[in-house]
Amino acid sequence: MKPKNNETLLNFIDGDFAANQSGKTFDVFNPATGELLYVVEEADKHIREIAIDSAKRAFKLWSQRPAVERSRILLCAVSELRKRNNELARIECLDTGKPLQETTEVDVATGADVLEFFACLAPTQTGQQQSVGDDFYYTRKEPLGICAGIGAWNYPLQIACWKSAPALAAGNTMIFKPSEKTPRGATELAKVFIDAGVPPGVFNVVHGEAEVGAWLTGHKDIAKVSFTGEVGTGRKVMEGSASTLKDVTMELGGKSPLLVFDDADIEEAISGAMLGNFYSQGEVCTNCTRVYVHDAIYDTFLVRLKERTEQNIITGDPLDLSTNFGAMISKEHHDLVMGYIQKGKFEGAKLLTGGDSFSPDSAPKGYFIQPTVFIDCTDNMTICREEIFGPVMSVLRFYDEDEVIRRANDSAMGLAAGVMSKDIRRAHRVAQQLQAGICWINSYGTSPAEMPVGGFKMSGVGRENGIETLDQYTQTKSVYVGMIKLESPF
């Protein structure tokens, strides 16, 4: 099969596209139409070698640039991203199957925000100095070297921004491997960096599947790996990184709870539940797929949830700006999510709405699934225990605060959680007991650049965004200075 426009996407090394020598390619499909979008050259031995060489050379220059200069250049990339918002949003929409309505508002903008945040922080990094007797020492925050970024397919350009921003701001270089399902976002970012004046080799993009990712994690010249993906893959990436004791950041999956108390504003709570299950057609790591609703408001909550889900969700061609619910990333993922829906039915959960595949008139060949709500779920059902990564909400009934906190925490994962309540003391008391890296109170899903994000338990290691993340891309060097004659027993 040939893509309509005969496009072949190449690896992006040392400031330009680079052809591989093996001739090996893989295909990328539009999830909303099933059509071949373009083919991509895999990073072979030649590409891998030049990627490392160029990142090494670039590190020598980039790490020596004054932080304020790096900041100025990265801020040019921020302007460029914002200028190209609509064009980039369209690329993300075609690759991911997400609504253009969303990618235009969120995907590029939140990537640019994080780049701006870390560009502004770059010149603020300082060491410390302390006297110790007659001598003294001082510390320097030095960059790590070449960092690897490995991305998931749900927010391709945003993930590439979130990983490269702190890395580059701190003076590192990065070799980024986007998901093989959505390789264009990171490539576009690489072009933006070059246009903005980031030197060639500071941000290289290599393409491929697990094998290319595994090569990065095992490579002796790579100092750190920042990974976004599934828990199981994260474990392999940590194992691979252990061979050279690399530093790792792991942004992994979740099975997050939303707790809706009896004093919550019901419409707002439903907004939170719908945002946290149906935004990006449910393909968001922090999704609150376990919605615990207090017995006193359970029935009212369900009536309005059904109405709003059936009336307000518009599924169709993601390029149509009125569409607010898109296609699953692939046929394979579509079938996986449908498998979970079958398990939910089999294990006795009741369907409130949805539960089937779907062929909208405007995109009849896409991999769509109806927004699905299961009710009367129990904690041990597969749909309440495993990450589905699709538009499948499970609603569970609860009776008291201690009980719901215990049930919410009964998960191997701990990425996010939400509390809906007008009682501020209760909301904070509960948030403090929830085992999750992010807790939203009367809100869900918002992730500003200033706020650290990452998981407790098996949902992750380290954080992205927020001031503390910059430190994760530096190492501290202590310099001890002797001011008096050095005594020695020898």
State the nearest-atom distance from the C-beta of 330 to ligand NAD, in Å. Answer: 9
State the nearest-atom distance from the C-beta of 175 to ligand NAD, in Å. Answer: 13
State the nearest-atom distance from the C-beta of 415 to ligand NAD, in Å. Answer: 6
**How far apart are the C-alpha atoms of 99 and 433, rounded to whole Å?**
36
Classify residue 478 as exposed, middle or buried by CB count within 10 Å of its CB (0-12, 13-18, 19+).
exposed
State the nearest-atom distance from the C-beta of 438 to ligand NAD, in Å. Answer: 10
Select from 33, 217, 370, 474 the one that contacts ligand NAD (CB under 6 A).
217
State the nearest-atom distance from the C-beta of 234 to ligand NAD, in Å. Answer: 7
Per the residue annotation, which of 92, 251, 283, 387 is the catalytic one? 251
**How far apart are the C-alpha atoms of 25 and 10, rounded to whole Å?**
9
Beta carbon nearer to ligand NAD, 171 or 466: 466
**How many Cα atoms occupy the beta-carbon half-sphere of 19 within 13 Å?**
3
Sequence-distant (≥ 6) Cβ neighbours of residue 400 within 8 angstroms:
none
Select from 87, 195, 209, 295 the one that contacts ligand NAD (CB under 6 A).
209
Beta carbon nearer to ligand NAD, 28 or 415: 415
Binding string to ligand NAD for residues 253 to 292, with x set by CB under 6 A, is what?
xx------------------------------x-------
Stretch that binds ligand NAD, among 19-27, 213-221, 271-279, 477-485 (CB under 6 A): 213-221
Beta carbon nearer to ligand NAD, 229 or 316: 229
- Candidates 287, 277, 301, 252; CA nearest to 369 is 277
Cα dihedral 231/237/238/244 (nearest 10) = 180
State the nearest-atom distance from the C-beta of 28 to ligand NAD, in Å. Answer: 13
Examine residue 92 and tell whether it contacts ligand NAD (CB under 6 A): no
Question: CA angle 52-57-61, nearest 5°?
Answer: 140
State the nearest-atom distance from the C-beta of 283 to ligand NAD, in Å. Answer: 7
**Residue 251 is among the residues annotated as catalytic for this protein:** yes
Examine residue 228 and tell whether it contacts ligand NAD (CB under 6 A): yes
Alpha helix (H) residue ranges in 154-225:
156-169, 184-196, 210-218
- Candidates 39, 38, 42; CA nearest to 11 is 42
CA 112 to chain centroid, in Å, comes to 14
Select from 7, 35, 142, 230 the one that contacts ligand NAD (CB under 6 A).
230
Binding-site size, ligand NAD (CB under 6 A): 30
Q: Cβ(290)–Cβ(334) under 8 Å?
A: no
In one-letter notation, the amino acid at residue 253 is G
Binding string to ligand NAD for residues 109 to 148, with x set by CB under 6 A, is what?
----------------------------------------
Got the DSSP string for 58-118?
HHHHHTTS-HHHHHHHHHHHHHHHHHTHHHHHHHHHHHH---HHHIIIIIHHHHHHHHHHH
Judged by CB under 6 A, the chain residues 361 through 390 that form the site for ligand NAD are 387, 389
Stretch that binds ligand NAD, among 23-31, 250-258, 358-366, 390-398 (CB under 6 A): 250-258
Q: Reading across the β-sheet that carries 25-29, which strands appear in turn?
A: 8-9, 36-41, 25-29
- Give catalytic residues, as residue numbers: 251
Q: By the criterion CB under 6 A, which residues form the site for ligand NAD? A: 150-154, 177, 179-180, 209-210, 213-214, 217, 228-230, 233, 236-237, 240, 251-254, 285, 387, 389, 415, 455, 460
